[in-house]
Chains A and B, each alone.
Chain A
Amino acid sequence: MATEVLVPLAGSIWEILVEVGDTVEEDDELLVIEALKMENLVYAPCDGTVSEIRVKKGDTVEDDDVLMLIKE
């Protein structure tokens, strides 16, 4: 089962900190979204493996867009 990592706040993708296949733990830093002049970290909602990344650096994202999937 895969858990979707959603955009918490509309902005642009500043940096992606993981790759597909990486093992992550809950609260690990996954990527950075630039919004409201700040670089905001997005954290892993659960333990698992990054199975898919749907954005790339520079992309504009909206609230609740899916950023990546984590397979538990």
Chain B
Amino acid sequence: MKPYFENMERFGKALKQARIKRAAASAEQLKQTENDTEQLKKNVEAAGFSTEKINQRGVMTVWQRIEYLVDPGSWHPLHSTYNPLDNVEGTTNVVDGLGKIEGRWAVVIGFDNKVMAGAWLPGQSENILRVTDLAQRLNIPLVWLVNCSGAKLPEQEKFYANRRGAGTPFYRHAELEQAGIPILAGIYGTNPAGGGYQSISPTILIAHKNANIAVGGVGIVSGMAPRGGFSVEMLEELVEKTREFSASPPGTVATHFDQTGFFSHVCEEETEVLDGLKEYMQAIPAYQARFFRVGTPKEPEFPIEDLYSLIPANQKEVYNFDEVLARLVDGSEHMEFRPDYGPEMYTGLCKIDGMLVACIGNRQGYLGKGYPEYADYPGMGGKLYRQGLIKMNEFVTMCGRDRIPVIWFQDTSGIDVGDLAEKAELLGLGQSLIYSIQQTDVPMMLVVLRKGSAAAHYVLGGPTANRHNAFTLGTPATEIAVMHGETAAVATYSRRAMKEKDAGRPLQPVVDKMNALAEHYHDHSQPDYCARYGLVDEIVKLQDLRSYLQAFAGAAYQNPTSICPRHHMLLPRSIKG
């Protein structure tokens, strides 16, 4: 299949100086947003005790452990600013991302031991479930850095119980193990109760010599049965018991290495725990990338910095999606699927690090006379019409057959509306696309380049595709909402305005409410909001986008659950004709 893949059709053009000049203010705005996001990430990193204070105790921070554990330059953080329940700590208290360990991709997650000794906090279980989903979708190991003091007791009602509560990750761990996905755990510090189950539920447990894991910690063991209140005498008794149990907490290595044997290894030094994880990573099944490469890896023909000039911060300004893609894929080469059909959508095969990926993205701007063919109004990119939906259904279905991971790029205002659109079956074709995605069972990722709106955000491989979407990235231009705020204000208040007018009352109060709603939409759809509440898994700098695509492709091809030999693939033949 070398003639198909080694050198595919080149696309894209060098940027003109006039474009760079005209986009200068927009580029500056995008970079400012990136800087703001970066500051939020630093705030999370600085939460709790200082690194110095932790180190003075002879302990590494979770950030230092990750840095030691993963191969240099391979760390791709996710959920950095995720804090869906607005914890005062500013974090869900786990740090996670994709990284290579000893040359193999893994999903890595660790408790932030600077914040309440790595306690469970509200929103944390949802964060962990995103991470276990990620490991499952990519079929790569999950590596835990456990250092968990258990529940933050004053807020337990927000996370302890519930269907997707703090205990659910233990079931997910079991699911991963059932699926043959190993979970490696390095264990540090005191891990009582929930921390104990965080420690015991993985596949391989490597403990630091000072680690302990237990069903209940000192705080519970030394406690007493409820007596309807507290008194000083009772507290004196409690102090003595606590002193006694603190000297010999339950579940130390003396118990769980020497007696139960739960710990596979016990290490003198913190770094030895990490070295142990590295050794186990060397032992897990993983193909080398060359097994699946269809071409020699190449850098894109054009600099990634161009993205700042190509993607306008102004949501109303159109741009050329193909030029964006040409800055992201190997050699700026592709094989486009049905270029003469469904012009609002790009569908094509590209390479990332020499591995085949399918790319789907919204094209922008006027779509030309006579399109959509079923209507008497002009078509505009960003919207989905009949042909584009049919094309994506076909493309995705063939990607499933050929086992090709899919990368979606969204900048969509929605699916075409109106009775003509209904007669053109767009409602059915949108749901058909969901069915087609569900049928594929290949890893997918999404980049919300700018707008993610209406049902189109769902059908274009959105995070709602729970079993398929490995992760979703936002950019400094991302804006996610069911519709634009002004559109929402019109939809909400147009009838009210009519009634007020007919009653002879002033319209200004309605105007004020409409403006307030539009502003609310704006504030609740911007990049930092999307990351905080999990609408995306991370906001990344435009200049880092290709690196995340490389992480996705590398991880997706590391140990796929099924293979289509390249010479059995149908999609490239269908494109060639």
Residues on A with beta carbons closer than 8 Å to the beta carbon of B499: none
Number of B residues, CB within 8 Å of A: 17
Q: Please pick, from B13, B314, B317, B366, the residue contacting A8 in the complex, using a CB distance under 8 A.
A: B366
Interface assignment of A41: CB less than 8 Å from any CB of chain B: yes
**In the complex, what distance in Å separates the CA atom of A25 from the CA atom of B382?**
28
Interface assignment of B542: CB less than 8 Å from any CB of chain A: no
- Least distance between A67 CB and chain B CB atoms (Å): 14
**In the complex, what distance in Å separates the CA atom of A36 from the CA atom of B368?**
13
Q: Which residue of B lies closest to A25 (CB)?
A: B16
Interface string of A14-27 (1 = CB under 8 A from B): 00010000000101
Residues on B with beta carbons closer than 8 Å to the beta carbon of A39: 314, 316-318
Q: Which residue of A lies closest to B487 (CB)?
A: A37
Given A9-B378, A37-B316, A38-B380, A29 and B365 touching (CB < 8 A)?
A: no
Interface assignment of A35: CB less than 8 Å from any CB of chain B: yes
State whether A27 touches B13 (Cβ < 8 A).
yes
Interface assignment of B53: CB less than 8 Å from any CB of chain A: no
**In the complex, what distance in Å separates the CA atom of A7 from the CA atom of B318?**
16
Residues on B with beta carbons closer than 8 Å to the beta carbon of A41: 318, 365
- Least distance between B487 CB and chain A CB atoms (Å): 9
State whether A40 touches B318 (Cβ < 8 A).
yes
State whether A17 touches B22 (Cβ < 8 A).
yes
- Least distance between A17 CB and chain B CB atoms (Å): 7
Residues on B with beta carbons closer than 8 Å to the beta carbon of A9: 366, 378
State whether A28 touches B318 (Cβ < 8 A).
no
Number of A residues, CB within 8 Å of B: 17
State whether B22 touches A38 (Cβ < 8 A).
no
State whether B16 touches A28 (Cβ < 8 A).
yes
State whether A38 touches B365 (Cβ < 8 A).
yes
Q: Sample 20 A-B pairs with CB under 8 A, ordered by A number.
A: A8-B366, A9-B366, A9-B378, A17-B18, A25-B16, A27-B13, A28-B16, A28-B18, A29-B19, A29-B22, A35-B378, A38-B316, A38-B380, A39-B316, A39-B318, A40-B318, A40-B365, A41-B318, A41-B365, A63-B369
Using a CB–CB cutoff of 8 Å, the interface residues on chain B facing chain A are: 13, 16, 18-19, 22, 314, 316-318, 364-366, 368-369, 378, 380, 382
Residues on A with beta carbons closer than 8 Å to the beta carbon of B369: 63
Given A27-B13, A41-B318, A36 and B380 touching (CB < 8 A)?
A: yes
Residues on A with beta carbons closer than 8 Å to the beta carbon of B16: 25, 27-29
Residues on B with beta carbons closer than 8 Å to the beta carbon of A37: 316
- Least distance between B58 CB and chain A CB atoms (Å): 59
Q: Which residue of B lies closest to A18 (CB)?
A: B18
Residues on B with beta carbons closer than 8 Å to the beta carbon of A29: 16, 18-19, 22
Q: Which residue of B lies closest to A15 (CB)?
A: B22
User: Which among A8, A9, A25, A35 has the highest number of chain B CB atoms within 10 Å?
Assistant: A9
State whether A35 touches B366 (Cβ < 8 A).
yes
- Least distance between A34 CB and chain B CB atoms (Å): 8
User: Which among B13, B364, B366 has the highest number of chain A CB atoms within 10 Å?
Assistant: B366
Given A9-B366, A17-B22, A36 and B378 touching (CB < 8 A)?
A: yes
- Least distance between A48 CB and chain B CB atoms (Å): 15
Q: Which residue of B lies closest to A41 (CB)?
A: B318
Residues on B with beta carbons closer than 8 Å to the beta carbon of A17: 18, 22
- Least distance between A54 CB and chain B CB atoms (Å): 20
State whether B318 touches A38 (Cβ < 8 A).
yes
State whether A40 touches B366 (Cβ < 8 A).
yes
**In the complex, what distance in Å separates the CA atom of A38 from the CA atom of B412?**
12
Closest 5 A/B residue pairs (Cβ): A9-B366, A39-B317, A36-B380, A39-B316, A38-B316
Residues on A with beta carbons closer than 8 Å to the beta carbon of B317: 32, 38-39
Other A-B contacts than A8-B366, A25-B16, A29-B16, 9 sampled, CB-CB below 8 A, are A9-B366, A9-B378, A29-B19, A29-B22, A35-B366, A36-B378, A39-B316, A41-B318, A63-B369
**In the complex, what distance in Å separates the CA atom of A40 from the CA atom of B378?**
13
- Least distance between B456 CB and chain A CB atoms (Å): 16
Q: Which residue of A lies closest to B367 (CB)?
A: A9
